[in-house]
Structure 1
């Protein structure tokens, strides 16, 4: 493909992404509501569907849109979706996690490196055993400097592509001197669960626990706890493998579910998403009434009210619907509030009005067609 044509195609997808992002920021594309279909967007901008998909993927990585089995919908602008910093600043909820008692004082720090993963991690993440992978070494220490927990994490290459913040951290580590890459530059990945949630990933962890009767790597107590944690996304892809070594005698497992939902899955996308306001709750209860005329809207209201206190799986079982449906409407309410519940994604989908970006991309398409016709293609 000629370089000029590649440049034009790249510019087209970027123009479309910029125009849709502007529509989200101004409210032309309301948060929580479906965007027009790929076919309609392609027709409106005068491009093929692959170009539209590239634009939508770019917006997903920026946290501007999200998708579910109901379609692709807009998220509120970042300024309207503040995230509570405390969610990602405690050892238990920040990455890679902690098995220490909640009241145990500990300081954390981590370093990035490139190393071959352990055999179990290579198998879980589908990484060839002789290939180096992005690695994160993290340590929790007590006030006296004693190592309480060590964690070594390996990342699947696809996660580095899906989560822009992780990709930038990896690029910064790789750009440093060779000695730094070997020794490992310092990095703060404590918000990885949040970054993953912003990229549209819903992560789950499965742990395998064993008692260690040998000295931990790098010293420490002779006895301790070892945990191998594999983290998968909603599609079943294994993305993260972490080996924990815990030497603190107060360490404890706080799981009741072997497929525990990680903190990022419960992070609010809008202000007040975790706690429904009194006025919104009153409206939801009115919609959820057994005598409500709109059965679809009543179900959505019950989903949102149920998810305020329970996990999506539990609400799905209680209502007799799929977890995917419950998760979709829960997230749409968090993105767009009551308005997102009122709008059925299967109903009227308006075609976006032509914009300057659409005119530019349509003009480029016409220009390419003329060039190919002149060349006899």
Structure 2
């Protein structure tokens, strides 16, 4: 899963990138993009390790992509935003630490940039189709159908309606899938506040007055990055003395995963305890394919137990004795915290 970091120049986007991934931004890539992985923290792994004592532990990770800073004049932003069209979620980094910053105006500016970038793609395709259907050719009927699907979408974008709110039908979803439209993607707003900010949540509260369901958080990224470079003892002493810091990095990563429509399931045994990132609402067959295509091809059933139940039971033998291990078919919808054992035959 890719998370695209977007921010206007000077918003502290690269500082946040380093805090979340531990990888410093490369100045040579200031006008391009840079990616690094951030492990998704999962406290249940430690409890599973107490049960299985595995030889190996593997945890799922999200890929964070830092992009070139956007311009507030919108000039050239469409090209910069093209770098993150493959991302599954957008992390909007907003300057809330400088004296003259206008955080909510910046959020609105992002939305305008996304609309303009999407309109550029859709209108370009519509114009090409309008020219193409004037000529008799074997593909004309298919092009007419695509044009009929795209024209209402273009009208919606021109009126300021994002794709996510346009109620796309199946045909529109089909013809726009390859466009990777920005206004269709889930978003998470991160207000980068000053080190001495005493009421960081006010920015989140203000945003939710106009966007009640907005996913957002407020963090002093510069301070948290400096704290992360200290030893645990130094960090704790600094926090106690200054009364600052302590943002929940792990919680933020988990929130980003959730905003992306992803969750975690487990595979567990003496060889390995592993977390797998997976789309919310996905089936057991898809989860099997996520592990290995052979498991999906020869799928028989999924042996499923909930992580919390196993931890409470203390062993596989006990959880089976309690009758809490289920046999599920391929269309079973996997739940967060499921431990899967795929039975298959190839």
The answer to whether TM tops 0.5 is no
TM-score, length-scaled by structure 1: 0.24
Q: Structure 2-normalised TM-score?
A: 0.25
